[in-house]
Amino acid sequence: MTKMTRFILDESKIPHTWYNIAADLPSPLAPMLHPISKRPIEAADLREIFTEEIIRQEFSLERDIEIPTPVRDVYKLWRPAPLIRARSLERLLDTPAHIYYKYEGVSPSGSHKPNSAVPQAWYNKNAGVRRLVTETGAGQWGASLAFAGQLFGLDVSVFQVRVSFDQKPYRRALMETYGARCVASPSSETKFGRAILESDSNHPGSLGIAISEAVEVAVSDKDTRYALGSVMNHVLLHQTVIGQEAIAQMDMTGEEPDILIGCTGGGSNFAGLIFPFLGQQLRGRRARRYIAAEPAACPTLTRGRYAYDFGDTAGITPLVKMHTLGSSFTPPGLHAGGLRYHGMAPMVSHLYEMGLIEAKSYTQNECFAAGQIFACSEGILPAPESNHAIACAISEAQRCKQEGRSDVILLCLSGHGHFDMSAYQSYAAGKLTDQSYVGSDLEKALSGLPFIAS
């Protein structure tokens, strides 16, 4: 029998529904709270920023949620995404482990982000919204929403975190090519941005600040809604096309994954890959290991506190219970800008608290080293964010070698790094520093967490 390397599904196998893990959770998520009254949020509280269908999905306990036909039609541009056995990487590592990766870099913008950008744009268009406003770190989400928005005739404005805006000029060019407007955050366009710039005109920005700016704009204009690229339940839900396809593709391999790995910024690609597998487990199938790989410089799950906190820095978003480094914490300016967020998806945090998933952290240099090994063996140049998942997979494969185990490892390769060449250049030149957060800043941010009476 010939050894297969690529496991490809035809477009009829794009899932017809998204998988909602809320239906299978052993205990429910803590409710979102209103930022001022601190009472559980109701649908009406979110109407200024989100459309009806998105709000419905955010609270839904229904297991399978239908993917609208126009969204599935757009998915056909790149889905089903390939599942590939990393045979050259296995040889290079001389490991008995079997390594597979689900490659999301085949999408138009080069990552998993359009899986949610397309439905969000579609629901807003359907609801008569004219403009979407959002934040972006590395620019992957901004580019994805820009692409999806122009497909459905929506204007898109993006607040891009200043440090990434400066590091990744071509991502901004891509957003503008798709017709979006991109502004460095903190900006002088919002009250909150101006206040930050007044205290520090060189502020590097953060996702928390950019979210505050985007939400401020959304609530000030009735024709504008906000779109978020990670963290919230509806975004994680949309990403479950990744894991559902991967289940069908793993069936083609004749193997079952023992260990599933994804990098985590807000948690959406990780959730997208693992939730459908974890759902099988929650409904009685065998247990597996699920590992969230995060940056040592922004170690939300491994070092953060599980507490109610704001999703943004200004404190205007709802309060959510999650692992957080504190919404006033500014993580150091690492190259994996998409992982530079103070919080984690409440759903991912909840699973971590229940001991159903694990988390590990990695430094920039070890991640770029892993990315280079991957590029040299598999040919694909990974996004700096995805390098965290690769670093984790390599260390698991090395452990398998030491222990003589042939575990099956499946990782989400969330995007390619073609717009991140300056980071790879810095790494090759030995100029990449392993930035670490300032402990006293973290302590200060954590001590300022909002008080919620239990």
Ligand X SMILES: Cc1ncc(COP(=O)(O)O)c(C=O)c1O
Contacts to ligand X by CB under 6 A: 111, 137-138, 140-141, 230, 263-270, 338-339, 383, 385-386, 414-415
Torsion of CA 224, 226, 229, 233, to 10 degrees: -130
Question: CA separation (Å) from 416 to 148, 245, 374, 381, 410?
Answer: 19, 19, 12, 6, 17
Contacts of 42 (CB under 8 A, 6+ apart): none
Contacts of 202 (CB under 8 A, 6+ apart): none
Smallest distance, Å, CB 163 to ligand X? 13
- Distance, in Å, from the CA atom of 34 to the CA atom of 450, rounded to the nearest integer, reads 12
Smallest distance, Å, CB 408 to ligand X? 22
Range 104-133 burial, b when 16+ CB lie within 10 A, else e? bbbbbbbbbbbbbbbbbbbbbbeeebebbb
What single-letter amino acid sits at 323? H
* Closer Cβ to ligand X, 173 or 219, answer by number: 173
Q: Are 392 and 360 in contact (CB under 8 A)?
A: yes
* Closer Cβ to ligand X, 178 or 400, answer by number: 178
Smallest distance, Å, CB 409 to ligand X? 18
* Closer Cβ to ligand X, 137 or 400, answer by number: 137
Phi, psi (deg, nearest 5) at residue 332: -60, 155
* Closer Cβ to ligand X, 111 or 363, answer by number: 111
Smallest distance, Å, CB 412 to ligand X? 8
Residue number with the shortest CB distance to ligand X?
A: 338
* Closer Cβ to ligand X, 98 or 416, answer by number: 416
Smallest distance, Å, CB 330 to ligand X? 17
* Closer Cβ to ligand X, 141 or 178, answer by number: 141
Smallest distance, Å, CB 336 to ligand X? 8
Looking at residue 238, what DSSP letter applies? H
Smallest distance, Å, CB 334 to ligand X? 12
End-to-end alpha carbon distance in the chain? 61
Residue with tokens 């920039």: 364
Smallest distance, Å, CB 383 to ligand X? 4
* Closer Cβ to ligand X, 265 or 318, answer by number: 265
* Closer Cβ to ligand X, 103 or 141, answer by number: 141
What single-letter amino acid sits at 3? K
Smallest distance, Å, CB 400 to ligand X? 25
Q: Are 442 and 326 in contact (CB under 8 A)?
A: yes
- Distance, in Å, from the CA atom of 83 to the CA atom of 104, rounded to the nearest integer, reads 9
Q: Are 313 and 211 in contact (CB under 8 A)?
A: yes
* Closer Cβ to ligand X, 383 or 400, answer by number: 383
- DSSP, collapsed to helix, strand or coil, labels residue 387 as helix
Burial of 230 (0-12, 13-18, 19+ CB in 10 A): buried
- Distance, in Å, from the CA atom of 393 to the CA atom of 373, rounded to the nearest integer, reads 12
- Distance, in Å, from the CA atom of 21 to the CA atom of 271, rounded to the nearest integer, reads 9
* Closer Cβ to ligand X, 233 or 269, answer by number: 269
Strand order in the sheet with 224-226: 181-185, 155-161, 131-136, 224-226
Smallest distance, Å, CB 166 to ligand X? 16
